[in-house]
């Protein structure tokens, strides 16, 4: 296995800068997800690592070796694509063994190797069948087996689970997790599914419009999103974001707007700096940090009208419409007994809110907590 290093990598298609300038250091044995919305440049970045796309600028190293201009076959990587790309006329055994065949491994040895990996992936009873004769999940594992049959320095995955149904997807996700962690494979994985990225990654690179906006372990991204974009992309439902105005009084800073009110709290250096430029602040609060307020009085409240109350089993998702078309959701345990379109309020603790400046960048530190 090997580390992967992207230095100032950029890619333009004609006049369009699809990837601006990316630096990304992936450690040996890491599982890094490239996460972002459609069209942000995830696949292009992966294809440049694979050698299927030539970068316009910058350099790529795998295991310390500069491979920027190397052919895909000379990079020693395994790839798994979204559509599996199995050869329909070949048996599962021949599909798995194909990378060994092109490397000149003799038939007996390659079938032995294919059998071994098929056993690990629980598809050894399907070796004589054709791809059309096995299920989607089994095809996906065949595609994985084909990538893994040849020892590679790193494995690249492009949305490999997206063709599976929801249940099989969760099963395959845990399987991939186990496989990668137990083998210590270096893996780069493209997805627009934040749950998949949270579950699998040692670190997530969140991409937006050809840039990496945050690169950190999953829980760091969840707890301290760098920008409102990251906050709104990670989490299901994502972090609630409410634009407010900050005002100073003798009691401290107060935040108010769109039905949100935060009791006065002491400012800190980073917040002071942000407020020098603008008193427009965005307050972020995760759904699990909201609860249904008993009674209407008090601050640290979000007030609005009940839009939806969805019972999910152990918990409910309760959504309020605030002023100005802002919608916020709470994850509450048990049932919420509020009328549709009736007045309702959520309560929260000040130390659970995240503040973002007028540009949407997180203000480090927090109300009632020490700056970090």
Closest CA to 265 of 366, 160, 126, 345: 366
Least Cβ distance, residue 14 to ligand ATP (angstroms):
7
Burial of 241 (0-12, 13-18, 19+ CB in 10 A): middle
Least Cβ distance, residue 41 to ligand ATP (angstroms):
4
If one asks whether residue 192 binds ligand ATP (CB under 6 A), the answer comes out as yes
Residues 265 and 255: beta-carbon distance below 8 Å: no
Strands 31-35 and 203-208: parallel
Least Cβ distance, residue 359 to ligand ATP (angstroms):
23
If one asks whether residue 286 binds ligand ATP (CB under 6 A), the answer comes out as no
Binding mask 6-35 for ligand ATP (x = CB under 6 A): -------x----x-----------------
Concatenate the DSSP letters of all residues of 188-225 into one string: EEEES-HHHHHHH-SEEEEEETTEEEEEE-HHHHHHS-
Which residue in the block uniquely carries the two structure tokens 């969140």?
206
Residues 18 and 24: beta-carbon distance below 8 Å: no
If one asks whether residue 5 binds ligand ATP (CB under 6 A), the answer comes out as no
Least Cβ distance, residue 337 to ligand ATP (angstroms):
41
If one asks whether residue 173 binds ligand ATP (CB under 6 A), the answer comes out as no
Our CB check for ligand ATP shows the closer of 192 and 301 to be 192
If one asks whether residue 150 binds ligand ATP (CB under 6 A), the answer comes out as no
Closest CA to 264 of 256, 255, 272, 254: 254
Our CB check for ligand ATP shows the closer of 44 and 240 to be 44
Least Cβ distance, residue 205 to ligand ATP (angstroms):
12
Number of residues that bind ligand ATP (CB under 6 A): 11
Residue 326 CA, distance from chain mean position: 24
Q: How far is CA 286 from CA 25, 33, 221, 331, 369, in A?
A: 30, 22, 13, 9, 17
Give the count of alpha carbons within 13 A of 189, CB side only.
Answer: 30
111-140 residues in contact with ligand ATP (CB under 6 A) are none
Least Cβ distance, residue 207 to ligand ATP (angstroms):
7
Least Cβ distance, residue 22 to ligand ATP (angstroms):
12
Our CB check for ligand ATP shows the closer of 190 and 281 to be 190
Crossing angle (nearest 10°) for helices 107-120 and 92-102? 120
If one asks whether residue 225 binds ligand ATP (CB under 6 A), the answer comes out as no
If one asks whether residue 205 binds ligand ATP (CB under 6 A), the answer comes out as no
Our CB check for ligand ATP shows the closer of 212 and 255 to be 212
Our CB check for ligand ATP shows the closer of 78 and 210 to be 210
Residues 24 and 76: beta-carbon distance below 8 Å: no
If one asks whether residue 146 binds ligand ATP (CB under 6 A), the answer comes out as no
Our CB check for ligand ATP shows the closer of 33 and 292 to be 33
Residues 273, 274, 278, CA angle at the centre, nearest 5°? 125
Our CB check for ligand ATP shows the closer of 38 and 182 to be 38
Question: Which distant-in-sequence residues (6+ apart) come within 8 Å of 130 by Cβ?
Answer: 88, 89, 90, 91, 92
Least Cβ distance, residue 36 to ligand ATP (angstroms):
6
Least Cβ distance, residue 203 to ligand ATP (angstroms):
18
Binding mask 30-69 for ligand ATP (x = CB under 6 A): ------x-xxxxxxx-------------------------
Evaluated on CA atoms 102, 108, 110, 111, the torsion sign reads positive
Least Cβ distance, residue 155 to ligand ATP (angstroms):
18
Q: How far is CA 147 from CA 118, 142, 206, in A?
A: 12, 9, 25
If one asks whether residue 333 binds ligand ATP (CB under 6 A), the answer comes out as no
Evaluated on CA atoms 18, 8, 229, 53, the torsion sign reads positive
List contacts with ligand ATP (CB under 6 A).
Answer: 13, 18, 36, 38-44, 192
């Amino acid at each position: 296995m090997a580390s992967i290093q992207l230095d100032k990598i950029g890619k333009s298609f004609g006049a369009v800068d699809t990837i601006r300038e990316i630096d990304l250091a992936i450690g040996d044995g890491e599982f890094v997800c490239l996460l972002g919305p459609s069209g942000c440049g995830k696949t292009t970045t992966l294809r440049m690592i694979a050698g299927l796309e030539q970068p316009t600028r910058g350099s790529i190293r795998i295991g310390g070796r500069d491979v920027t201009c190397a052919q895909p076959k000379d990079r020693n990587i395994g790839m798994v694509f979204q559509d599996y790309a199995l050869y329909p006329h070949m048996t599962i055994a021949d599909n798995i063994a194909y990378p060994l065949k092109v490397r000149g491994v003799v038939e007996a040895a390659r079938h032995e190797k294919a059998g071994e990996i098929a056993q690990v992936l629980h598809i050894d009873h399907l070796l004589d069948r054709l791809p059309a004769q096995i299920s989607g999940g089994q095809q996906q594992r065949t595609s994985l087996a084909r990538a893994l049959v040849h020892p590679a320095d790193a494995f690249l995955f492009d949305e490999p689970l997206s063709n599976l149904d929801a249940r099989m997807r969760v099963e395959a996700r845990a399987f991939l997790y186990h496989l990668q962690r137990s083998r210590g494979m270096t893996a780069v994985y493209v997805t627009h599914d934040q749950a998949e990225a949270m579950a699998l990654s040692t670190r997530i690179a969140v991409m937006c419009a050809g840039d990496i906006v945050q690169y950190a372990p999953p829980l760091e991204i969840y707890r301290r999103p760098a920008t409102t974009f990251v906050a709104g992309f990670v989490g299901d439902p994502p972090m609630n974001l409410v634009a407010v105005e900050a005002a100073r009084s003798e009691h401290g800073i107060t935040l108010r707007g769109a039905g949100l009110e935060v009791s006065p709290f002491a400012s800190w250096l980073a917040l002071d700096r942000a407020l020098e430029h603008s008193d427009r602040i965005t307050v972020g609060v995760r759904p699990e940090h909201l609860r249904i307020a008993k009674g209407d009085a008090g601050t640290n409240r979000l007030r609005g009208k009940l839009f939806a109350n969805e019972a999910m089993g152990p918990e409910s998702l309760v959504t309020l419409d605030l002023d100005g078309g802002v919608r916020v959701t709470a994850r509450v345990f048990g049932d919420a007994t509020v009328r549709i379109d009736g007045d309702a309020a959520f309560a929260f603790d000040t130390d659970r809110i995240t503040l973002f400046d007028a540009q949407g960048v997180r203000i480090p530190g927090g109300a009632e907590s020490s700056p970090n």
